[in-house]
Amino acid sequence: MRYSPLGSPAPSKTKSRDNKSTARPKLRWLMMSGNANLFSSKRIASSIEEQSESIWRSTIAALEKSGMTVHDIVKVTQYLKLEEHIPLYSAIREKYLKGATPASTLLVVPLLDPPSRLVDVEIIAAKDDLEFSTKQ
Interval 80-127: pLDDT, tens? 999 999 999 999 999 999 999 999 999 999 998 888 899 999 999 999
Assess if residue 87 is contained within a domain: yes
Residues 6+ apart with CB under 8 A from 82: 48, 108, 110, 118
Task: Assess contact for 59 and 32: CB atoms under 8 A.
Answer: yes
On whether the pTM is more than 0.75, the answer is no
* Dihedral angle, C-alpha 71, 77, 80, 81, nearest 10 °: -160
Residue 21 lies in a domain: no
CA distance 9 to 2: 22
Query: What CATH number is associated with residue 96?
Result: 3.30.1330.40
The domain in which residue 84 lies consists of 28-135
11, part of any domain: no
Residue 108 lies in a domain: yes
> Among the residues of 8-97, which ranges form H helices?
48-65, 86-97
Kindly give the pairing relationship between strand 2-6 and strand 73-80.
unpaired
pLDDT digits (tens, 9 = 90+) for 1-59: 444 455 444 444 555 566 665 666 688 899 998 664 544 456 667 899 999 999 999 99
Please give the angle made by the CA atoms of 4, 100 and 120, to the nearest 5 degrees: 50
